[in-house]
């Protein structure tokens, strides 16, 4: 009898092992990474920096899919409704937090309806103007805005983006009236600043550095507390007349809620390997991007803290519909 039980136990173990061996290993097919903005913007740039190394690590293609519109809410809804199987990811920013709070409708909530995977990068922003605008300093920008209240427009990649919030915070701190013109992505907004259709905007260095170097736009100030090596010689807003001004943008990967922990940890580990590569650090440095360094749990807590911080600012500025 004992022998029979022993044989049965061995048979069950062998059967389970066989089932596990037959289960497809992740990933067994290409992985989609959605970007809620048009190609060429900072979020798209970060996603395309990360995807080749992640492709190597996973052994399957990581395909970038741009789904611009509604300040990344369109892409967010697609991801939130996708199966939590690791095959649909999204490169997000705090925009998804801000847009949801501002619109005050039942859109996906970043801290609740997604699995936090990995923080990829943080960055300051830079205020740029069309070269034809007769300003070279922040004080001159503010003076022009005060002389023409409600007439000076600024662009952004959408409602709730860090460029939008930077301009709103600047307007509040400086007591000026400027008009927001939202686009479906940072790149088309920047193209209109270059073309002279818009006088100015805040932009991520990853999207604007080459245009500054080419003289197509003029850099006025950066949003970090210290000057950025990506735009050498450009002062901060804090030291240019708005003491304490600071805004840092961030970019990170999320997945649908309830994704198995082993998949979350696998993706976090693979992305960490990518961010540690010398060539990625070099690329990031040229764009004023600081690689992220968080576990999935830490990133989840970071998202919660960002939700509280930006939510408070949005309400203080009266931007909730």
The string of pLDDT tens digits covering residues 82-102 is 999 999 999 999 888 888 788
**Which among 120, 123, 124, 112 has a CA at the least distance from the CA of 91?**
120
Task: Based on the fold, state whether residues 174 and 276 are members of the same structural domain.
Answer: no
Q: Examine residue 169 and state whether it is found in any structural domain, yes or no.
A: yes
Q: What is the mean pLDDT of residues 285-304?
A: 92
Spatial separation of the C-alpha atoms in residues 159 and 180, rounded to whole Å? 9
Q: Which of 240, 272, 291 is the last residue of a domain?
A: 240
pLDDT of residue 15: 40
pLDDT of residue 262: 97
Q: Which of 240, 257, 283 is the last residue of a domain?
A: 240
Task: Based on the fold, state whether residues 273 and 260 are members of the same structural domain.
Answer: yes
Tell me the H-state helices in 131-260.
138-147, 162-174, 186-195, 205-213
Task: Based on the fold, state whether residues 189 and 282 are members of the same structural domain.
Answer: no
Beta carbons of 225 and 246 less than 8 angstroms apart: yes
Structure tokens at 127: 């205020």
pLDDT of residue 259: 97
Flag the least confident range among 4-8, 159-163, 233-237, 266-270.
4-8
Strands 88-92 and 290-291: unpaired
Q: Examine residue 201 and state whether it is found in any structural domain, yes or no.
A: yes
Q: Examine residue 14 and state whether it is found in any structural domain, yes or no.
A: no
Spatial separation of the C-alpha atoms in residues 225 and 247, rounded to whole Å? 9
pLDDT of residue 110: 85
- Percent of the chain exceeding pLDDT 90 equals 70
Structure tokens at 134: 């007769």
pLDDT of residue 151: 94
Spatial separation of the C-alpha atoms in residues 101 and 160, rounded to whole Å? 9
Task: Based on the fold, state whether residues 289 and 236 are members of the same structural domain.
Answer: no
Composition of the chain by helix, strand, coil, percent to 5: 45, 20, 35
The CATH number given to whatever domain includes residue 105 is: 3.40.190.150
Task: Based on the fold, state whether residues 116 and 131 are members of the same structural domain.
Answer: no
Task: Based on the fold, state whether residues 227 and 270 are members of the same structural domain.
Answer: no
Q: How many domains does the chain have?
A: 2
The string of pLDDT tens digits covering residues 143-158 is 999 999 999 999 998 8
Half-sphere exposure of 307 (CA within 13 A, CB side): 15
Burial letters 162-176, b for 16+ CB under 10 A, else e: bbbbbbbbbbeebeb
Question: Cα–Cα distances in Å, from 241 out to 103, 173, 174, 220?
Answer: 32, 10, 9, 12
Q: Where are the beta strands (DSSP E) in the chain?
A: 31-35, 62-66, 88-92, 114-124, 126-129, 152-156, 178-182, 200-203, 218-222, 248-256, 290-291
Q: Examine residue 1 and state whether it is found in any structural domain, yes or no.
A: no
Task: Based on the fold, state whether residues 87 and 58 are members of the same structural domain.
Answer: yes
Query: Which residues neighbour 103 within 8 Å (Cβ) at sequence distance 6 or greater?
Result: 73, 159, 321
Q: Examine residue 195 and state whether it is found in any structural domain, yes or no.
A: yes
Task: Based on the fold, state whether residues 166 and 184 are members of the same structural domain.
Answer: yes
pLDDT over 90 at 139, yes or no: yes
Task: Based on the fold, state whether residues 132 and 224 are members of the same structural domain.
Answer: yes
Beta carbons of 270 and 31 less than 8 angstroms apart: no
Q: Examine residue 105 and state whether it is found in any structural domain, yes or no.
A: yes
Task: Based on the fold, state whether residues 226 and 274 are members of the same structural domain.
Answer: no
pLDDT of residue 286: 83
Q: What is the mean pLDDT of residues 191-216?
A: 93
Task: Based on the fold, state whether residues 139 and 235 are members of the same structural domain.
Answer: yes
The CATH number given to whatever domain includes residue 232 is: 3.40.190.10
244 DSSP assignment: T
Flag the least confident range among 93-102, 176-185, 296-305.
93-102
Task: Based on the fold, state whether residues 145 and 291 are members of the same structural domain.
Answer: no
**Which among 7, 20, 42 has a CA at the least distance from the CA of 209?**
42
The range of the structural domain enclosing residue 98 comes to 31-122+248-317
Question: Cα–Cα distances in Å, from 320 out to 7, 62, 104, 105?
Answer: 67, 36, 7, 10
The string of pLDDT tens digits covering residues 205-255 is 878 888 999 999 999 999 999 998 888 899 999 999 999 999 988 999 999
Spatial separation of the C-alpha atoms in residues 243 and 128, rounded to whole Å? 19
Spatial separation of the C-alpha atoms in residues 158 and 126, rounded to whole Å? 16
Q: Examine residue 13 and state whether it is found in any structural domain, yes or no.
A: no
Q: Which of 240, 275, 304 is the last residue of a domain?
A: 240
Q: Examine residue 60 and state whether it is found in any structural domain, yes or no.
A: yes
Spatial separation of the C-alpha atoms in residues 140 and 147, rounded to whole Å? 10
């Amino acid at each position: 009898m004992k022998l029979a039980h022993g044989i049965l136990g061995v048979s069950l173990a062998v059967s389970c092992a066989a089932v596990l061996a037959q289960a497809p290993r992740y990933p067994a097919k290409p992985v989609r990474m959605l970007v809620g903005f048009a190609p060429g913007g900072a979020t798209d740039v970060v996603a395309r920096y990360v995807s080749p190394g992640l492709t190597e690590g996973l052994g399957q293609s990581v395909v970038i899919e741009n789904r611009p519109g509604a300040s990344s809410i369109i892409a967010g809804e697609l991801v939130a409704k996708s199966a939590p199987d690791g095959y649909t990811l999204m490169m997000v920013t705090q925009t998804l937090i801000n847009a949801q709070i501002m619109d005050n409708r039942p859109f996906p909530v970043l801290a609740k309806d997604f699995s936090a995977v990995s923080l990829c990068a943080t960055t300051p922003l830079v205020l740029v103007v069309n070269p034809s605008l007769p300003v070279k300093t922040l004080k001159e920008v503010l003076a022009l805005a005060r002389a023409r209240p409600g007439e000076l427009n600024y662009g952004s990649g959408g409602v709730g983006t860090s460029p939008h919030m930077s301009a709103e915070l600047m307007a509040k701190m400086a007591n000026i009236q400027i008009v927001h013109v939202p686009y479906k992505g940072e790149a088309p907004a920047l193209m209109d600043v270059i073309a002279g259709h818009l006088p100015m905007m805040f932009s991520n260095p990853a999207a604007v550095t080459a245009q500054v170097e080419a003289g197509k736009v003029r850099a006025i100030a950066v949003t970090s507390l210290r000057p950025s090596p990506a735009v050498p010689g450009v002062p901060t807003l804090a030291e240019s007349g708005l003491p304490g001004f600071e805004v840092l943008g961030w970019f990170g990967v999320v997945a649908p809620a309830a994704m198995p922990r082993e998949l979350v940890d696998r993706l976090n580990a693979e992305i960490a390997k990518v961010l540690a590569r010398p060539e990625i650090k070099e690329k990031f440095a040229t764009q004023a991007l600081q690689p992220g360094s968080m576990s999935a749990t830490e990133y989840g807590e970071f998202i919660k803290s960002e939700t509280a911080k930006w939510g408070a600012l949005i309400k203080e500025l009266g931007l909730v519909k």
